[in-house]
Amino acid sequence: MTKEEAIALWNNKGIVRAEMEFYCGGDEMGDYSFTYFDADDKEVECKELYVYFDEEVFKHIDFYVNSDGHYMGESGSVHITLDDLELDDADIDFDYVKSAQSEWNESLTNTLSVTLNEEQINYVKEFVSSFNGGSDEFTQFNYSKDFIMTDEHERIEKEIGDIINDITTDYEPDTENEVGEWFNYQNEEPMFDDDNTLLVEMNNESTIYRDSDD
């Protein structure tokens, strides 16, 4: 479809604006759609114009599809209107204006202080070299030496694991941004502070939304 044919169809249908809703990211252009409106802001059915705008909009608007782990994608709309009809026919064209927000992933790292009783502190200091866990797994302990795991050891270790799991699951980072459900954690180095409080390095992910460039 030529530009002249698209303009004629646009005017014949009484269209005054079109909106392209879109999402892109993950290294590809996602789903998008076109909706047309008349002067009373009522939707106008015009599937034929899709053929034209499906090519032309990408000639006028940049969409940032490439994700890198930090930048995730963008979503929004492209506002399409026709130039002032008082212009000469040869100069009349469509205007394209993008209004969108980009999505960014930000890592948040904080140190949590976990209070243990003396028995639990002694167990960690004697047997544990490191530990880690997260939203999809309970606390996993690595040992500093070989030893026979007794029922008493299992009880103490389970108590420690439950304490760490509860604290990390309930933790909410101090941020105004949207925080995802995923998190992981591991011990800090050194593992205890001067007050024998267990130190846990907590890692969360938050989502930041910013106005996109045109």
* pLDDT tens-digit map of 15-55: 999 999 999 988 889 999 999 999 999 999 999 999 999 99
Q: Using CA atoms in the order 34, 38, 40, 43, what is the torsion angle rounded to 10 degrees?
A: -40
59 and 128: one domain? no
3-state secondary structure at position 70 = coil
DSSP character at residue 64: -
Structure tokens at 85: 């009809």
| 122 falls within a domain | yes
| Per-residue confidence band for 70, with pLDDT thresholds at 50, 70 and 90 | confident
Q: What is residue 87's predicted lDDT score, i.e. its pLDDT?
A: 57
| 83 falls within a domain | yes
Q: What is residue 214's predicted lDDT score, i.e. its pLDDT?
A: 59
Closest to 94 (Cα-Cα) out of 59, 131, 45: 59
83 and 23: one domain? yes
Tens-place pLDDT, residues 96-117: 999 999 999 999 999 999 999 9
Answer with the one of 92, 127, 149 that is the final residue of a domain: 92
The span from the CA of 30 to the CA of 91, in Å, is: 32
Contacts of 44 (CB under 8 A, 6+ apart): 13, 14, 15, 36, 37, 38
112 and 48: one domain? no
What is the domain range of residue 56?
3-92
154 and 125: one domain? yes
Closest to 23 (Cα-Cα) out of 204, 179, 209, 177: 209
The span from the CA of 160 to the CA of 148, in Å, is: 18
Question: What percentage of the chain exceeds 70 in pLDDT?
Answer: 96
Question: What percentage of the chain exceeds 90 in pLDDT?
Answer: 80
The span from the CA of 15 to the CA of 41, in Å, is: 9
Q: What are phi and psi of 160, to 5 degrees?
A: -65, -45
Tens-place pLDDT, residues 134-175: 998 999 999 999 999 999 999 999 999 999 999 999 999 999
| Per-residue confidence band for 94, with pLDDT thresholds at 50, 70 and 90 | very high
* Range 151-172 burial, b when 16+ CB lie within 10 A, else e: eeeeebbeebbebbbebbeeee
Report the predicted TM-score, pTM, of the whole model to 2 decimal places: 0.67
77 and 112: one domain? no
Q: Identify the residue with better confidence: 90 or 174.
A: 174
> Into how many domains does the chain fold?
2
| Per-residue confidence band for 67, with pLDDT thresholds at 50, 70 and 90 | confident
Closest to 116 (Cα-Cα) out of 169, 144, 158: 158
Q: What is residue 26's predicted lDDT score, i.e. its pLDDT?
A: 86
The yes-or-no verdict on residue 83 having pLDDT over 90 is no
